Amino acid sequence: MGLLRPPLRAHLPGGRQAAGGRQVRTLTDPAQLAGKRVLVRSDLNVPMDGTTITDTGRITASAPTIRALAEAGAKVIVAAHLGRPQGAPDPVYSLAPVAPELSKAIGRQVTFAWDTVGDDAQAKVAGMDDGDVVLLENLRFDPGETAKKDADRLPFARRLAGLADAFVSDGFGVVHRKQASVVDVAGLLPSFAGGLVAAEVEVSDRLLHDPARPYVVVLGGSKVSDKLGVIASLLERADTLIIGGGMVFTFLAAQGHAVGQSLLEDDQLDTVRGYLSKAQQAGVDIVLPTDIVMAASFDRDAEHWTVPVDALESTPAGASAIGLDIGPETAAHYAELIAGARTVFWNGPMGVFEFPAFAAGTKAVAEALTDVHGGADQGRLTVVGGGDSAAAVRALGFSDDSFGHISTGGGASLEYLEGKELPGLAALEDE
C-alpha cells in the first residue's frame, strides 16, 4: 500500500514528480507552510440523499493532505464543489453537511464559511489561528468558477487567491477541468500538487507507461461513447480488455446478436467493429460475455433469467427483455482472467449493482481484484477507477484498503489514460 497511498511527507514544496513525462511541483514538507494561509482545492463532490452523505470516500481521500498541513501549523482553507448548481447559491448543493464529516476525517474542528469569497469567508479566514481549518461554501455558487472564457474566470480566481499565501491542488477528480479554482488560482499563488494528486499521478503513470504484465483492463458502465478515447489508447497498451455493463450490448450487437431492449448505441456500431478488428490485428484480446442476466423490466424486483448471448431474446419477455448484468459463467471467466493478471485497471460496474438481483457480476469482479491484491506478489497493481466503480465496491461492502488503489477521479483518470493533457496538472508544471 505504501506505493499507492504515499504519505504526504514523500512530496515536498520544490519537489518534482513526473506526470506523463512532465514534471509537476509537489508538496513534500508541510512544515515549510507553517503559519501560512494555504488554499487547498479538494474534491468533496460526494453523493447525497437530501442532506445525508451516502459515500464519504472522497472526504476520506482528501483528509490526509488537509490534516498534514493543519498539524504542521498552516491555516488551511479548503475549497471544493458539490453537484452542478447554475452559478448561484442553491441550498440543495451546499457543502454545509460536508464540514462535520471532514472534521471527523481529519480529527479536528472544521469551520464552515457560508459563502466562498464574501464577507463570511473573509471574516473566518481573517480569524484563523495556526492549525485551523475553514471549509468554503460551494465554489460553483459563483459563475466565475466554471466560466468558459479565461477573462470571466479571472476575477473570481483573484478573490480566491486573495484569501491565501499558497495553493495546493489536491482534487484529482477535477484536474481535467479548466476552472478558476483548478487552473487560474495556480497561476496566482505559489502552487503545488498535494499528496492525493501525487499518488494518483504515480498510479496513472504506471498504468500508462510501465504496467507489469499481463495487463488486464475491465471496462463497464453504461455507454461505449463515454470510453471511446480510453479504449483506443488501451488497445495499444493492454493485453486484455474485458467488457461489461450496459456498453457490452453495443459490442454484442456489432457482432450480430439481438439484444432486446438493452442499452444500445446504434451510432457506435461501426466504431466498435473497428475496435474489434484493431484488437485482433494487435493481438489484444477483447473479451465479451457468454451469458447475460436479462430482465422483464428495469426494476429492482423484475423477473429475470440467465441466457447465453446468442439467445438474449429467448426469455418469456422476448424482444422486450433488457440486460442488467453479466451472467455467472461470464463472471467466473472474468474473475479467472483478473486473477492471472499482474496489473488490473477497472472502470465501470458490470451491471445495475444498485439492484441486489443484478449486482453479482460487479461483486465477482471486485472480489477478484481483492484476491489479486491479497496475493504474495507485491509487484501486482489493482486500480479501481473512480466514480461508479468506487461507489459500487463500497456499496457492496468492500473496504478501500482491499484494493491497491481506488481512484478519486473517474473522468480525470480516463482522460489521463487517453494521454490527454489535464489543465489542472499542466498548471503545476515547471515552465
C-alpha cell at 202: 504515480
Mean pLDDT across 304-311 = 97
Torsion on CA atoms 80, 81, 87, 88, rounded to nearest 10: -90
Q: Binding site for (2R)-3-phosphoglycerate: residue ranges?
A: 58, 140, 177
d(CA 162, CA 160): 5
Mean pLDDT across 303-326 = 97
Q: Which of 15, 411, 419, 420 is catalytic?
A: 411
Mean pLDDT across 105-118 = 97
What top-level class would CATH report for the domain 30-201? alpha beta
What confidence tier does 131 reach under pLDDT thresholds 50, 70, 90? very high
Q: Is it true that 30-201 and 211-418 share their CATH fold?
A: yes
Q: Is 411 a catalytic residue?
A: yes
Q: In what order do the strands lie in the sheet with 381-384?
A: 285-287, 240-243, 215-219, 343-347, 381-384, 405-406
Q: What is the pTM of this model?
A: 0.86
C-alpha cell at 3: 506505493
Q: Do you find a cis peptide bond into 289, omega within 30 degrees of 0?
A: no
Q: In what order do the strands lie in the sheet with 322-326?
A: 304-308, 291-295, 322-326
Closest CA to 347 of 204, 189, 219: 219
pLDDT at residue 374 in the model: 55
Q: Which of 22, 108, 223, 237 is catalytic?
A: 223
User: How far is C-alpha 348 from the geometric centre of its chain's CA atoms?
Assistant: 10
Closest CA to 203 of 79, 25, 381: 381
Q: Is 387 a catalytic residue?
A: yes
Which residue ranges make up each domain of the chain?
A: 30-201, 211-418
Angle, CA 136 vertex, CA 135 and CA 140 arms, to 5° = 135
pLDDT at residue 2 in the model: 25
Contacts of 352-355 with C-beta under 8 Å, sequence gap 24+, read 352/298, 352/324, 352/325, 353/392, 353/395, 353/396, 354/395, 355/299, 355/300, 355/324
What confidence tier does 40 reach under pLDDT thresholds 50, 70, 90? very high
What is residue 237's three-state secondary structure? Answer: coil
pLDDT at residue 388 in the model: 79
What confidence tier does 3 reach under pLDDT thresholds 50, 70, 90? very low
pLDDT at residue 395 in the model: 85
Q: Is 223 a catalytic residue?
A: yes
d(CA 261, CA 294): 10
pLDDT at residue 8 in the model: 34
pLDDT digits (tens, 9 = 90+) for 194-228: 999 999 999 999 998 889 999 999 999 888 898 88
CB 337 within 8 A of CB 326: no
CB 43 within 8 A of CB 58: yes
Mean pLDDT across 42-61 = 92
d(CA 113, CA 39): 14
pLDDT at residue 19 in the model: 57
User: pLDDT averaged over the chain?
Assistant: 90
What confidence tier does 158 reach under pLDDT thresholds 50, 70, 90? very high
Amino acid at site 66: I
d(CA 124, CA 111): 8
d(CA 357, CA 396): 12
Q: Which residue has the higher pLDDT, 25 or 125?
A: 125
pLDDT at residue 282 in the model: 92
pLDDT digits (tens, 9 = 90+) for 162-178: 999 999 999 999 999 99
pLDDT at residue 11 in the model: 35
| DSSP one-letter string for 179-230 | -IIIIIGGGTS-EEE-HHHHHHHHHHHHHHH---SSEEEEE-SS-GGGGHHH
pLDDT at residue 16 in the model: 54
Beta strand pairing call for 75-79 and 37-41: parallel
Distances in Å between the alpha carbon of 359 and those of 211, 287, 331, 352, 356? 29, 20, 11, 6, 5
Task: Give yes or no for residue 396 having a pLDDT over 80.
Answer: yes
Task: Give yes or no for residue 239 having a pLDDT over 50.
Answer: yes
Q: Averaging pLDDT over each range in 3-12, 187-196, 374-383, which range is the top one?
A: 187-196
Distances in Å between the alpha carbon of 391 and those of 56, 205, 311, 387, 399? 10, 23, 32, 6, 11
pLDDT digits (tens, 9 = 90+) for 353-363: 999 999 999 99
Q: Binding site for ATP: residue ranges?
A: 227, 323, 354, 386-389
pLDDT at residue 398 in the model: 87
Task: Give yes or no for residue 10 having a pLDDT over 80.
Answer: no
Mean pLDDT across 259-287 = 95
Superfamily of 211-418 according to CATH: Phosphoglycerate kinase, N-terminal domain (3.40.50.1260)
What confidence tier does 9 reach under pLDDT thresholds 50, 70, 90? very low
C-alpha cell at 93: 448543493
Q: Binding site for substrate: residue ranges?
A: 43-45, 58, 81-84, 140, 177
Q: Is 153 a catalytic residue?
A: no
Q: Which of 171, 387, 404, 424 is catalytic?
A: 387
CB 95 within 8 A of CB 58: no
Q: Binding site: residue ranges?
A: 43-45, 58, 81-84, 140, 177, 227, 323, 354, 386-389
Mean pLDDT across 305-323 = 97
Q: Which of 25, 37, 58, 394 is catalytic?
A: 58
Element (H, E) at 134: strand 133-135
Task: Give yes or no for residue 12 having a pLDDT over 80.
Answer: no
pLDDT at residue 431 in the model: 58
Q: Which residue has the higher pLDDT, 412 or 338?
A: 338
